[in-house]
Each structure stands twice: as C-alpha cells, then as structure tokens.
Amino acid sequence: MEQRTKLNEAIIELVHQFESNDPRGEIRFLGEERILDIINYYEQDEQWEKAMEVVEIAIGKHKYQVEFYLAKGRLLLRMGDLEEANQILRKAESLAPTEIEIVILRSLILCEQEQYEDALQQLQDYKVIADSPQHTRLLICEAYVYEHMKDFDFMFFTLKEALAQDPRNIEALEKMWVSVELSKRYEESLVFHRQLIDIDPYSQHAWYNLGHAYTCLGEYPEAINALEYAFLIDDRYEIAYRDCVELYIQIQEYQKAISLFHEIISKFGVEVETLVQLSECHIHLKQYHKAKKILMKAAKMDPFNDEIFYFLGLCFIHEEKWHYALNALSRATDIEDSREEYQVQLAFCYWKTGNLRKASKHFKEAIRITPEDTSNWVEYLDFLVHTNQLENAMKTLNKAENYTVDTDLTYIRGAIHLLTGDRKEGIHLLESALQEDVTNHEVVFRFNDDLRHDKEVSSMFRYYLEEQKK
C-alpha cells in the first residue's frame, strides 16, 4: 500500500515536470513506461486532449512501439472518433498481429456501433488461441458488450466465469457489483462472493461486493460488517467508507456515521458534500450549533451550494430563529428554486413571521413542483387550517385528490368537517379512512388536537387498532 502511494506520488511529480517544461524536449528523456504512466494519468483524469498530446509526441519518437498506437486507439474510442480509431488499430496490427489489445479495442468499437454480434464473434474467435490471462480479459470485454446489449444476466454469468479463472482480477471484481445491481442476482452474488473470500480472505473488492449484495437485500448490519472489512483491508478504499457511512445514516446510527465521516475527512480530505452530510447527522442528533459551524465552513468553500443554505435554514428553524432561517432558505431557493422541500420550509418561516401571503405563495410553489407528493398538500392544508382558512382548505383538498390518492387526505377531510361542526360527515370520513389504513390515523390530531379528548373518536380508533392486531 505504501509502495503504491509512493508510485502515485512519483507519477504526479512526473506529470508536473512534464507540464512545467517544453513537452517535446521533456519526452526525449523519458522511457516508454514513464510516457505510458503520463498517458494513463491523463486518461484516469479524463483529460483526453492532454493524453492525446502526449501520445502524438510518443508516436513521433517511438514509431514502432505498438503500445502508443493502442493508447491512441483507446483515446479515439473514448472521444467517439471510431473511424480513425479503426485506422490506428490497423497500424497497430501491422506491428503486432496477435496483440490481444487490438481484438479488445476492435470489439469495443463494434459495440459502440451497436454491432454486438460481430463484437462477440471477434472475442470468441480469439479465445481459441488465448492463454488463461488473455481468456480472462476477453471474458471481461464480453461482459462489457452484454452490458451494452442490456443482457445483464449474461453479463453476470460472464464475469463469474472470468473470476472463476482469476479470482483476484480487480477489473472483473469492480464490474461484478454493477452486473449484480443490474441483473438483481443478489442471492447468487452472496454465495459467489463468499466463495471468492474463502479463496482470498484479503480481497477488499470481494468484501465490497458482498456488502453491496447485502445492502440490496436490506440486510444492513451484515452489509456494514462486509464494507468495514473492505476498508480495513485497504484503508484507501474510499467508496467502501462512503457506502458504509451511507448505511449508518440509513439505519439512523448518526453518531457512528459522524465518527466515520471524520475518518473519511482525515484520509481523503475535506469535500463540501461530505461536510453537508456530516452536518445533516448533527441535525438529526439536535446538535445544531455543531451543524451550523460545519455548514459555515462548507459555505466558504462553495458559496453557491444550495444544500448548505437549506440545512442552515433547518438549524435556525429548530432554534426558532425565524429571520435567520428566512435568509438562509431564501438563499437556497435563489440558487435552486425547483426543490419542493426548500419551498415548504421557506413557506413555514413566512408563516411563523406573520407573512401569510408569502407563506401561501411558497406552499403553492412546492405543490406546483411535485403535485403528486401528498406531503406538500398536507403542509399547505396544515397552514390553511391553523390560519382559519377552512373553506380554502376544503377547496384545496378537492384539488389535491385530482393529483394524489392518499388516506391522509381522507383523515384531514374528516378532521375539518369535525372542526366546522359537521360531526356526522366527519365521523363517517374518519371511519372510512380507518377501514382503508389505520396506521397513520394520528394525522387527524395535527389538524384538530381536541379530537384526542373526543370519546367517540378515541373509541373508534381503539376498535380499529385492536382489529388490526388480530
């Protein structure tokens, strides 16, 4: 691991030296492997033009080195210039007729052209003469073709075959979790990756894939355990850390998530997204001062990130600092005005500060953005009822039922009828809602808290709750 880190640092230093000098002059003094390192660096960073610049210089110096023609073909493929890529491969073939990379690149070009059967046939033909490592590479390429064909079952089975030949093949392991997600073969993935771990208990990629399968099956403690093994084996395995912290958040283990976030920051540096997620955990734990401190730091790093100001607004709402919350949420909606949750919270703040006109405007905007989301209608109805706009609330309920069908709306309609004195219809609506779904009956108390002490309503609720238990 230390050796790999030093190697990465050496490559970065090499790139810096290359960029700070005249490129053509600098290349003269570099060997083939060093030049390929620079090309690979730019490729990984998706700096295609820079990589192509180095390739052209390298071909000018090493006219008979097939590796540079292959690198150029690969770049042209990524840049979408398929015809020129084919021409370069023909030159490479004249230098090394049996080079496996030529077959793979040509198959990938055919795949991009949606000539899938031809791509698979090319790979199949070469398998006859391929040795074991080459055979594995051909299978990985074949899996890529199946992915593009959207034949995710064959993608999965092909990668299984590749890993049966080479259980430690990182490329196949990295593609495998994608194939599992697409094919939804989670149970098979569990069995298969346990077998791989029996062969190599220190395969962080196999542990990661196992964790991914457990996650998809909703077995979160087992998933966390597997992901922890992955990053304990390789403490630079960033995606395993990040997936693990997401699971902690999902199961509401916010303190554990916070600890892991700090570990991520210490190992991989501070990123705005990480700080936002970290602040959200503190908000869930009602640690608003800590959350605000983190968000202020994030805002200095990225003053145009809407989520930062949204979560700042939430902190101020919880602290009942309405004007501060208004300022933060207004900033969030100025940056991004199509998030309904921003609009709802902004409306809530205007309500609390007595600006009912603006509150109504932003509640309506949230509904306009996602009219199928019942929760937005509920928030607006809550506002209307508690500001004594009962007639408007009834009209809004009628509109809501054109967009969403939810028992909550029936409960609310019943609560409003009881508020207006129409007891018979109110009781009838509550009973209809209870017959349909008893689980969310307490929504009525949000709209009419007096119903907690209504004997008839309480008796009816108890009856249906008991019926549900049977």
Q: Is pLDDT at 23 greater than 80 in this prediction? A: no
Lowest-confidence pick of 1-10, 87-96, 341-350, 398-407: 1-10
pLDDT in tens, 274-330: 999 999 999 999 999 999 999 999 999 999 999 999 999 999 999 999 999 999 999
| HEC sequence for 193-227 | HHHHHHHCCCCHHHHHHHHHHHHHCCCHHHHHHHH
Q: How confident is the model at residue 105 (pLDDT cuts 50, 70, 90)?
A: very high
Lowest-confidence pick of 11-25, 322-336, 419-433: 11-25
Q: How confident is the model at residue 27 (pLDDT cuts 50, 70, 90)?
A: low
pLDDT at 28: 56
Average pLDDT of the segment spanning 329-346: 97
Mean of the per-residue pLDDT values of the chain: 92
Hey, what long-range contacts does 446-455 have (CB within 8 A, 24 or more apart)? 446/382, 447/381, 447/382, 447/385, 447/412, 447/415, 447/416, 447/419, 448/415, 448/416, 448/418, 448/419, 451/415, 451/418, 454/418
CB 340 within 8 A of CB 348: no
CB 127 within 8 A of CB 156: no
Q: Whole-angstrom Cα distance, residue 153 to residue 143?
A: 10
Q: Is pLDDT at 26 greater than 60 in this prediction? A: no
Q: Is pLDDT at 238 greater than 60 in this prediction? A: yes
Of the two residues 466 and 272, the one the predictor is more confident about is 272
Q: Is pLDDT at 119 greater than 60 in this prediction? A: yes
230-239 as b/e: b if 16+ CB within 10 A: bbebbeebee
Q: Is pLDDT at 174 greater than 90 in this prediction? A: yes
Tokens standing for residue 327: 């300022």
CB 212 within 8 A of CB 193: no
CB 80 within 8 A of CB 51: no
Tokens standing for residue 85: 């890529």
How large is the angle between the packed helices 455-469 and 423-436, nearest 10 degrees? 10
Q: How confident is the model at residue 37 (pLDDT cuts 50, 70, 90)?
A: confident
pLDDT at 25: 47
The percentage of residues in the chain with a pLDDT greater than 90, rounded to a whole number, is 81
One DSSP character per residue, 47-76 reads -HHHHHHHHHHHHHH-TT-HHHHHHHHHHH
